[in-house]
């Protein structure tokens, strides 16, 4: 097995799927000649040619619309948003068309819309968490991996899925040295809709996803070291559909729940998870469900303000200790 970063895992997934299935092609801004804003597709056009690695105008609605048309003709397009913030320009195509075609007349639309999301010094137009705009839209699957291995496994699964998939890649994870790991072999494909336990424990569960998985793990280790409590960390991986079974099993095992996400507080995924737990496992709770999230503001550009905006390890530790002491 090769060892790679999060970004290299995504490259490997795209390369393998393009080699194995000639229906798979890429389209997006600056992905061919320039190799992508983060160099994720560097060398792809030389390998597969301009017919399968297509530079597009800066027109996200056109990119997603062209992907939909290609999918309806039997291809499997992977459309890159240079930054996921600008997926808003293609919102109509994705939510009002791609998400509804299979329901309306039974025609699958196997497109993947992928790109970098999350805060990593990019300011209010290049750092947003966009997942909740789409999680509420029936017909779209939403995936956000936290590890290099999952990045590869789940991107391959997304490309093979017959439904539209929004694949969110936290840009802060792309080249993180700590995320270098052995990548799954060519034959391995992930399964959408399955959560993963990243750290076991029975005193409290942190439910999280994306980059916050790593801050939650750090917080859990600190609590174990300083307080002796064992905190489970549940990585959702797929946000739509969510793995309700894994969530409820964790509630039954731990009885205390903390939800952590980088998205803003109001109407963030924590509210939906809380509602599901109240409906399905309320009697197992020994304390109120709590959440640690970003602030309800645009993402600041200044690094100190961004740090104050985002959930940090001390915030997670403080909230977890409050629940453990409840």
- The domain limits of the chain are 3-182, 196-324
Q: How far apart are CA 309 and CA 236, in angstroms?
A: 23
- CA–centroid distance for 293 within its chain: 16
**Is the pLDDT score of 11 beyond 70?**
yes
How do residues 237-281 score in pLDDT, each as one tens digit? 999 999 999 999 999 999 999 999 999 999 999 999 999 999 999
Calculate the alpha carbon distances from 111 to 63, 70, 74, 105, 193 in Å: 11, 9, 11, 17, 17
Percent of the chain with pLDDT over 90: 99
pLDDT tens string 181-240: 999 999 999 999 999 999 999 999 999 999 999 999 999 999 999 999 999 999 999 999
- pLDDT of res. 1: 65
Query: Looking at 102, 126, 214, 261, which residue is catalytic?
Result: 126
- Mean pLDDT to the nearest integer, 273-292: 98
pLDDT in tens, 103-128: 999 999 999 999 999 999 999 999 99
Query: Catalytic residue at 126?
Result: yes
In contact, 219 and 320? CB cutoff 8 Å: yes
CA dist 169 to 37, 43, 117, 172, 184, Å? 13, 20, 6, 9, 18
Q: What distance in Å separates the CA atoms of residue 277 and residue 291, rounded to the nearest whole number?
A: 13
d(CA 93, CA 195): 29
Contact between 259 and 273 under an 8 Å Cβ cutoff? The reply is yes
Do 3-182 and 196-324 agree at the fold level?
yes
Instruction: Identify the architecture of domain 3-182 in CATH.
Output: 3-Layer(aba) Sandwich (3.40)
Q: Which of 233, 131, 121, 128 is nearest to 172 (CA)?
A: 121
For 165, what's the count of Cα atoms within 13 Å in the CB-facing half-sphere? 27
- What 3-state class would DSSP assign to 153? helix
pLDDT tens for each residue of 144-162: 999 999 999 999 999 999 9
Question: Residue 138 and residue 94: Cα distance in Å, rounded?
Answer: 11
Any idea which architecture 196-324 has in CATH? 3-Layer(aba) Sandwich (3.40)
Q: Mean pLDDT, to the nearest integer, of 282-305?
A: 98
The pLDDT mean for the chain works out to 97
Greatest Cα pair distance, the chain, in angstroms, is 60
Instruction: Please give the average per-residue pLDDT across 29-49, as a whole number.
Output: 97
């Amino acid at each position: 097995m090769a060892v790679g970063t999060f970004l290299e895992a995504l490259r490997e997934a795209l390369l393998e799927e393009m080699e194995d299935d000639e229906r798979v092609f890429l389209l997006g801004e600056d992905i061919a000649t320039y190799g992508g804003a983060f160099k994720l597709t560097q060398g792809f056009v030389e390998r597969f040619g301009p017919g399968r690695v297509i530079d597009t105008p800066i027109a996200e609605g056109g990119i997603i619309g062209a992907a939909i048309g290609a999918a309806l003709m039997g291809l499997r397009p992977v459309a890159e948003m240079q930054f996921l913030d600008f997926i808003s320009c293609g919102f109509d195509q994705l939510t009002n068309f791609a998400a509804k075609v299979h329901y309306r007349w039974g025609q699958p639309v196997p497109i993947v819309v992928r790109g970098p999301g999350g805060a990593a010094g990019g300011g209010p137009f290049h750092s947003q968490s966009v997942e909740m705009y789409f999680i509420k839209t029936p017909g779209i699957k939403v995936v956000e991996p936290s590890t290099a291995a999952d990045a590869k496994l789940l991107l391959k699964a997304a490309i093979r899925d017959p439904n539209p998939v929004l694949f969110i890649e936290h840009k802060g994870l792309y080249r993180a040295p700590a995320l270098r790991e052995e990548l799954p072999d060519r034959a391995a494909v992930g399964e959408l809709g399955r959560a993963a336990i990243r750290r076991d424990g029975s005193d409290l569960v942190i439910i999280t996803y994306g980059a916050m998985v790593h801050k939650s793990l750090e917080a859990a280790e600190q609590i174990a070291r300083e307080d002796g409590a064992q905190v489970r960390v549940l990585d959702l991986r797929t946000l739509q559909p969510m793995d309700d079974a894994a969530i409820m099993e964790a509630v039954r095992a731990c009885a205390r729940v903390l939800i952590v996400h980088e998205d803003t507080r109001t109407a963030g995924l924590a509210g939906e998870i809380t509602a599901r737990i109240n409906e399905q496992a309320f009697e197992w709770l020994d304390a109120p469900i709590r959440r640690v999230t970003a602030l309800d503001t645009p993402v600041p550009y200044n690094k100190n303000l961004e740090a104050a905006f985002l959930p940090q390890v001390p915030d997670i530790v403080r909230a977890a200790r409050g629940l453990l002491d409840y």
